[in-house]
Amino acid sequence: MTPTRESFEKLYRYEQDVKTKERMLLVLNVVYHGKVSAQVARDLHRCKAWACEWLKRYYKEGIEGLKTRPKCGRPTKISKEVVYQIKQELQESNKGWTTKQAEELIIKKSGIKYHYIHIYRILRKWGFKQKIPRKVHVNTASVEEKEAFKKSPNRYLWRCSNSNSNSKKMDLR
């Protein structure tokens, strides 16, 4: 059963998900206002294939077809309750924590051991970010070395040599 234009517009106004709302706008313009799908897609800065795919899903499944489906993949090993407990404990720390400390906390609370790189990914997924960013240039010169380099008058040495003759090599310093 297809909803009326007024009820569809009302559903559109109260939709919270931005992507679903964009798809509903496509359907509203094409189905209820009679516009061409290619033009509506262009107005939404999308391609025609995107518009055709979502219209096909709308005709087949209705409004539910416009909503984002859950992605497939391996489910997380840690339960939602344990994740909540770990997040709460990490948020309580004002000083911050290292990836190793977070890993130990996850092992203690859930009994599951992850690789340290995956711990970093999990923390980013949970909304945490590094308090102190990683150093980019670890092997930079000290201030004294930089000043000594700047003050040396003969930084660039040019040598003039003539390989064809046995003349003396000239050293410009």
Model pTM score: 0.49
The answer to whether residue 130 sits within a structural domain is no
**Digit-coded pLDDT (tens) for 95-154:** 778 888 889 999 999 999 999 889 888 988 888 887 666 666 656 777 787 777 776 555
Give yes or no: residues 13 and 61 share one domain: yes
Residues 88 and 60 both lie in one domain: no
Q: Does 84 lie in the same domain as 52?
A: no
3-state secondary structure the chain: CCCCHHHHHHHHHHCCCHHHHHHHHHHHHHHHCCCCHHHHHHHCCCCHHHHHHHHHHHHHHHHHHHCCCCCCCCCCCCCHHHHHHHHHHHHHCCCCCCHHHHHHHHHHHHCCCCCHHHHHHHHHHCCCCCCCCCCCCCCCCCHHHHHHHHHCCCCCCEEECCCCCCCCCEEEC
Instruction: Establish if 72 belongs to a structural domain.
Output: no
- Count: domains in the chain: 3
Tell me the per-residue pLDDT of 3-58, one tens digit each, with 9 for 90 and over.
888 899 999 999 999 999 999 999 999 999 999 999 999 999 999 999 999 999 99
- Residue numbers of the domain that contains 57: 5-66
- The reply to whether 135 falls in a domain is no
Domain-ending residue, one of 26, 44, 66: 66
Let me know whether 150 and 113 are in one domain: no
